A and B are shown apart, each in its own frame.
Chain A
């Protein structure tokens, strides 16, 4: 049985580093924005309309083969810490932690497929896969979307495609994003130039937690910016191709680092290990930063353990919401820093 507790006891499937290019790409996310035909969009609907939309969508979800065991959370029943946990697991957006009528979060088994009901659009359906896999992720989300469509009549126009609340999403309603660890490019100082050329290709770049979040620890999300005028497959292919080139550039930067100043690099990585394995108090920003160094060290074979999957998980479970929830009360920032250092030490103990 897939419950909230089983979800919390396991790491999200997309963190397991089993996909293509795991040393650089953590995960690929594809989301679709959909609205129901004949219903007012969430921004302008009454509470009653929003509730009605939610029931229609949840009923279609319960009939969808891919989501029969999915966890359905009606957001009014979800407390603030748990909402934060859902954001940290990339299941909901930061905007979705605010109260709103008829909101629901849906998480499929293993968290590979999830959805938000009544966020900016009636339905935001997403699939997250490990590694660089835009086309794969698109194919999976397409199958689920088609299945849902048997029971939901989407707002659609022949000219403009799927109609969304914001005109920046109209057409395909698709957002394909790749979460990449560009530690090498960040260190060789070439990152700004690379990101600039990515934006010239019509793609956008954001931080670890998406819209508005700063890039920490050299983690960047690269995604398509336009949704109209190209097919979903073409968009997924473009992101896959550009991210593939990004992986090559990152590999080049990493080998340049080892060639030019191996001692400095080794020093940084072993110091990061030292801090993570010994700190008694640590902030999530510092974990992000040091885990980034360690991740680079593991990818370059400078340090053997922990493995990439363990480091990916560490990035999520050391976030404030996860720590708050496992502690069972609302800890202060200071208590969280102590608990976080504890958790990190325990995760790394005996690994090296």
Chain B
């Protein structure tokens, strides 16, 4: 198979990229692949999802080998194993791999903050926690707008809410 970019070299690298939410796969020769920043081989990995995730993780399709990264203390999944399968092993994985997942989630969803429903029982105080982050955002805006009266009001509300929450604190993540 000829390279789909230059049409001359033999295609040895499969390169997947996501543009506007749709997946495009290219078969490239070594030269064109390295021009696009693909240094390793992606062909050994199974499944388009893995390629999507890999592409997202690597900032658009690179394949630098990495060490196996952190290991989840609860289920034993390594970050490397997640990268290969594209599946997390348990709720604790989200905490374990938080710093790696954050950029990934931003690329997939365009956001890293849940703004949807919370468990109806709200045992973990999720709803109140959400309210507090909303108030904090408002506070930042009020400060930026030099509306200090409003800012002081918001600051007091945030403190009061945090005190309330602290007395029923059960941890951030129900895993």
Interface positions of A (Cβ within 8 A of B): 35, 37-41, 43-44, 120, 142, 146, 149-150, 153-168, 170-172, 174, 199-200, 202-204, 225-232, 235
In-complex Cβ contact of B114 among A39, A153, A157, A166 (8 A): A157
A166 to B120 Cα, complex, angstroms: 23
Q: Which of B88-102 contact A (CB under 8 A)?
A: 88-91, 94-95, 101
Asked if B89 and A230 sit within 8 Å, CB to CB, the answer is no
Q: Is the interface of A mostly helix, strand, loop or mixed?
A: loop
In-complex Cβ contact of A153 among B89, B95, B115, B174 (8 A): B174
With CB as the reference atom, state the residue of chain B lying closest to A148: B120
With CB as the reference atom, state the residue of chain B lying closest to A170: B105
Interface string of B89-125 (1 = CB under 8 A from A): 1110011000001001100111111111111110111
- Taking CB atoms, residues of chain A closer than 8 Å to B143 are none
Asked if B117 and A165 sit within 8 Å, CB to CB, the answer is no
CB proximity of A136 to chain B, nearest CB, Å = 17
Ordered nearest first, which 6 A-B pairs have the shortest CB separation? A229-B111, A161-B114, A155-B91, A44-B89, A172-B116, A228-B109
- Taking CB atoms, residues of chain A closer than 8 Å to B90 are 39-41, 44, 155
In-complex Cβ contact of A231 among B77, B91, B104, B117 (8 A): B117
Asked if A149 and B119 sit within 8 Å, CB to CB, the answer is yes
CB proximity of B70 to chain A, nearest CB, Å = 16
- Taking CB atoms, residues of chain A closer than 8 Å to B20 are 199-200
In-complex Cβ contact of A230 among B116, B172, B175 (8 A): B116
* Interface residue B87 (Cβ < 8 Å from any Cβ of A): yes
Asked if B116 and A174 sit within 8 Å, CB to CB, the answer is yes
* Interface residue B21 (Cβ < 8 Å from any Cβ of A): yes
Once A41-B87, A225-B21 are accepted as A-B contacts, the answer to whether A150 and B175 lie under 8 Å apart by CB is: no
* Interface residue B75 (Cβ < 8 Å from any Cβ of A): yes
Q: Which of B14-34 contact A (CB under 8 A)?
A: 20-22
A201 to B121 Cα, complex, angstroms: 34
In-complex Cβ contact of B101 among A158, A161, A167 (8 A): A167
CB proximity of B129 to chain A, nearest CB, Å = 4
A231 to B104 Cα, complex, angstroms: 20
With CB as the reference atom, state the residue of chain B lying closest to A203: B21
- Taking CB atoms, residues of chain B closer than 8 Å to A150 are 120-121
A235 to B111 Cα, complex, angstroms: 14
Asked if B117 and A172 sit within 8 Å, CB to CB, the answer is yes
In-complex Cβ contact of B174 among A37, A41, A172 (8 A): A37
Known: A44-B89, A228-B109, A231-B116. 5 other contacts (CB 8 A): A156-B173, A159-B114, A200-B20, A200-B21, A202-B110
